[in-house]
Amino acid sequence: MSIFTGAGVAIVTPMKEDLSINFDKLGELIDYQIDNGTDAIIICGTTGESATMTHEEHLECIRYAIDRVHKRVPVVAGTGSNCTDTAIYLSKEAQKYGADALLLVSPYYNKATQNGLVAHYGAVAKVTDLPMIIYNVPSRTGCNVLPATLAKMFKEYDNIVAVKEASGNITQVAQIMQMTNGDMDVYSGNDDQIVPVMSLGGKGVISVLSNVAPRQTHEIAASYLAGDVKKSCQLQLDAMPLIAKLFCEVNPIPVKAAMNMMGFEVGSLRPPLTDLEKANEEGLRRALADYGLL
């Protein structure tokens, strides 16, 4: 049984003017996502600015999301760290709170060898019963979780069940599926590759686009799962100009700007991230309008 199929949102963390977390607004965003077809809530990922949260804030966000969702859809808690002990701690706490699954980014900055990755993820897998999604995003971490490494962990640990693949390398996705006999669940970590990943047997996407277009992102995946590949492909292509603008600067800078343009009032970003540069505002606004969101 997959953790979810379709489109899960890598939800932003709204901030107040003093850059404290706006939990009331987070609750509104969660309800909006579920009301518009989002298939899972992924809390405290990269898009949620987890890198600038204290452990207390991180866990408070996870607990709040689980309570607010109230079993309407799965909640996947981001509990990854470049410190194995921290990843273990966050993962154990998330399980206590009632998370449905965990998303664990590969160790960043200090990185790891492939053997080190197996040891890192294995240490977490041994202390939690929750299903784990490995998050491979080498452009951010400087560390690529190779297909053979994923296959090894998938075979050794019953609860390492899925990967969020954001390497951008479609060949790597194919290799993962081939090495795991198509049994490991693969989620696209890139909004511009939802259909390509699903064409190789992927289960859907963990999406930034869903923050501004939950219904449309859900439909891309749902149409593919329903067998309407032509419709799914067209919806993917229709979204491409907006997706490009949502990554014109480092995520989540553009998506937060887009949400503010749409009236969601999600606030600013914690340093070292800064607000969207003026030169990119017009293009983003135009892409939102062309996609029917303004």
Answer yes or no: are the C-beta atoms of 161 and 176 closer than 8 Å. Answer: no
135 annotated active-site: yes
The pLDDT assigned to 259 comes to 98
The 10s digit of each residue's pLDDT in 217-267 is: 999 999 999 999 999 999 999 999 999 999 999 999 999 999 999 999 999
The pLDDT assigned to 74 comes to 98
The 10s digit of each residue's pLDDT in 161-216 is: 999 999 999 999 999 999 999 999 999 999 999 999 999 999 999 999 999 999 99
Distance CA 137, CA 168 (A): 9
Residue 214 preceded by cis peptide, ω within 30: no
Choosing from 121, 135, 187, 291, the catalytic residue is 135
92 annotated active-site: no
How do the domains of the chain map onto residue ranges? 6-219
Note the CATH number of domain 6-219. 3.20.20.70
Choosing from 25, 121, 152, 164, the catalytic residue is 164
The 10s digit of each residue's pLDDT in 69-90 is: 999 999 999 999 999 999 999 9
Answer yes or no: are the C-beta atoms of 276 and 253 closer than 8 Å. Answer: yes
Closest CA to 5 of 203, 288, 220: 203
